[in-house]
Amino acid sequence: MSEPILLANIGEPDSQTLEKYRSSGGYEGLRRAISDMSPADVVEEVKKSGLRGRGGAGFPTGVKWGFVPKDSSKPRYFICNADESEPGTFKDRLLMEQDPHAVLEGIIIGSYAIGAREAFLYIRGEFADSYRAMAAAIDEAKHASLLGMKILGSSYSLEIHLFRGAGAYICGEETGLMESIEGKRGHPRLKPPFPAAVGLFGCPTNINNVETVANVPLILRKGAPWYAEIGCERNTGPKLYCLSGHVKRPGVYEAPLGVRLHDLIYEHAGGMWRQGLKLKAVIPGGSSTPVLRADESDIDMDFDSVAKAGSLLGSAGVIVMDETACMVDSLLNILKFYAHESCGQCTPCREGCNWLVKIVRSIEDGKGKSADIDLVENVAGNIMGKTICPLGDAVAMPAQSFVRKFRHEFEEHVRLKGCPLKGAH
C-alpha cells in the first residue's frame, strides 16, 4: 500500500483546522495559482494533470473548465457538488468532515480558473458534520484572507455560499441541483443547453464533485507532471474507494487509479467478513453501476478498465456480496431506492421504476412467473437511455445486469416459489 496523498491529513488530530492544513502545505496551491498564474494557466495545468471527474462520469476536469465561455456578459458560477447520495458511496463526506480546507482550496482555485466571483457548495442535508466542518473552514479562510475580498492581496475576490439539500437523491444530478439552489423542485433539466453555457440562474456554470476539487490543490502545489505520474495511462491521480458489504473492514481506502479490485477487497478491506464464505458478486461503482460476477471481478479499478469489463467506475462505491446474498433480494433493495428517489418528471422513470419493484418483489416473494424475468429486462430497456437524466439508466443498469448475470437465481425463485437464501445471513 502506497502513502496516502488525498487522505494524508485524515485521522491526524485537528485535521480540519486551517493551522494543521497549512502546516502540510495547504493553500500553497492557491497562492501559486493566484500570484503566478493566469486563470487560463490554471486550466491548462489541470488539463495536463489528466484529472478526471470523480463524481462518476470521469470527464477530464480541465477540459470541462475550458468549456465555460470567457466572453459571456453574465456572471459565471462554480458549484461543488457535495450531495453525495449514491448507495455505497461515502468518500466526499470523509473529506469534508476531516479535511474541509482541501475541499475549500480546490473550490477557490477552480473558481479562479473559470472567473467565478461566486461559488456554491451544495451539501447533502443529512451531512450535518460536513456542513459544520465546511462552515468553520470558510470562516477560518475568510479571516486569513484566503476567501472573500482580495484573496491573498490579489485583485481576485470570491464569495462562497453554503447550501444544504433537503433530502432528495435527484438533487445530486447537476441540473436538479441547480434547480434546487434556485429554490425549485429538484427536477433535472433538458440538455442541451449544458450548464457550461446555461447553468445556475441561467448563467455559465461549472460543477465539480468534492473529491475532484480536493485533487486540485495537490496539482497546483506539486505540479501536473508529478500528479500525472500517479495512477495509470489516461487515469491519473489518487482515488478514494468506498468498500462496503460483506468485507471485514468496510471503509474509505485511497489507492492510485487502476488498483486491482481484488486488492481492494482482500488487502485493504481484509477479505470476506466470514470465514469460508466465497465472493459472489461486486458492484464496482455505486449501486447504479452494472454488477460483476466474482469471476469477472479481478480487474483494474480505473475508468477505462471497469468500462471494458462491462460496468462503470462511477463513484467507486464498491459493494461486495458473498454467497449468502440473494441477488433477487439485492436487486429489489436497489430498485426500491431508485423508485423512491425518482423525481417523477418523465414517464419511463416515474412509471417504470415502481413497476420493476413490483415485478422483482413478486419474484422474491415466490409469486413470480418465468416470463417476469424477461419482463424485468424489457421494462428496464424501455427506461434505459430514454429519460431526461441519468437516474433512468441508474435503475436500468442494475436491473439488466442482475438478470443477465444471475438469471439462474431468478429462475430458482420462480421454480421454488420463494427465496432459497431467505435468512441465510
Partner 1 sequence: MAETVTLTIDDRQITAPKEMVVIEAARRAGIEIPYYCYHPYLSIAGNCRMCLVEIEKAPKLQIACSIEVTEGMVVHTGSKNVLDARAGVMELLLINHPLDCPICDQAGECRLQEYSLAHGSGTSRFEHEKHHGRKNVDLGRHIVFDEERCIKCTRCVRFCDEVSKTGELALLNRGDETIIGVFPGHRLDNAYSGNTVDICPVGALTLKEFRFRSRVWFLEQTPSICPGCARGCNVTVWAREDRIYRFTPRENPEVNKVWMCDEGRLSYLPLVARERLLEPLMDGEPVRLQDAVDRAANLLGGVGERAPRVGVVASPRATLEDLALLRRLCEATSATDGIPRFERGEDDDLLIRKDKTPNLAGARLLGFERPAAEVLREAAEGKIDVLYVMDEDLFSPAADSDEGDLARRAARKVRALIVHASFRDRVPSQAAVVLPAAVYGEYEGTYINFEGRAQRVRASMRRAGRSRTHLAILSAVAQRAGWGEWAREPSDVWKEAQALAAPLSGIGYDDVGTDGVMITGKGESG
Site string for partner 1, 104-143 (x = CB under 8 A): ----------------------------------------
Min separation Cβ 303 and partner 1, Å: 17
Nearer to partner 1, 116 or 360 (CB): 360
Q: Does 341 bind partner 1 (CB under 8 A)?
A: yes
Residues 240-274 as b/e (b if ≥16 CB within 10 A, e otherwise) read bbbbbbbbeebebbbbbbbbbbbbbbeebbebbbe
CB atoms within 10 A of CB 425: 15
- CA 356 and chain centroid, separation: 25
Of residues 371-400, those binding partner 1 (CB under 8 A): 375, 381-382, 385-388
Torsional sign, CA 271, 86, 194, 75: negative
Exactly one of 152, 347, 365, 405 binds partner 1 (CB under 8 A); that residue is: 347
* Alpha-helical regions (H) of 50-186: 61-66, 91-98, 100-114, 128-143, 174-181
Q: Does 340 bind partner 1 (CB under 8 A)?
A: yes
- Taking CB under 8 A as the binding criterion, the range among 106-114, 235-243, 344-352, 409-417 that sits at the site for partner 1 is 344-352
Angle at which helices 391-405 and 407-416 cross, to 10°: 70
Nearer to partner 1, 229 or 374 (CB): 374
Longest dimension (CA), the chain: 73
- Taking CB under 8 A as the binding criterion, the range among 117-125, 183-191, 217-225, 274-282 that sits at the site for partner 1 is 183-191
Nearer to partner 1, 301 or 389 (CB): 389
Helix (H) or strand (E) holding 415: helix 407-416
Exactly one of 353, 360, 363, 414 binds partner 1 (CB under 8 A); that residue is: 353
Min separation Cβ 372 and partner 1, Å: 9
Q: Does 358 bind partner 1 (CB under 8 A)?
A: yes
Exactly one of 150, 185, 308, 417 binds partner 1 (CB under 8 A); that residue is: 185
Cell of 298: 479481478
Q: What are phi and psi of 5, to 5 degrees?
A: -110, -55
Residue 189 DSSP class: P
Min separation Cβ 174 and partner 1, Å: 17
Nearer to partner 1, 324 or 362 (CB): 362
What does the alpha-carbon distance between residue 225 and residue 230 come to, in Å, rounded to a whole number? 9
Which residues contact partner 1 by CB under 8 A? 168, 185, 187, 190, 339-348, 350-355, 358-359, 362, 375, 381-382, 385-388
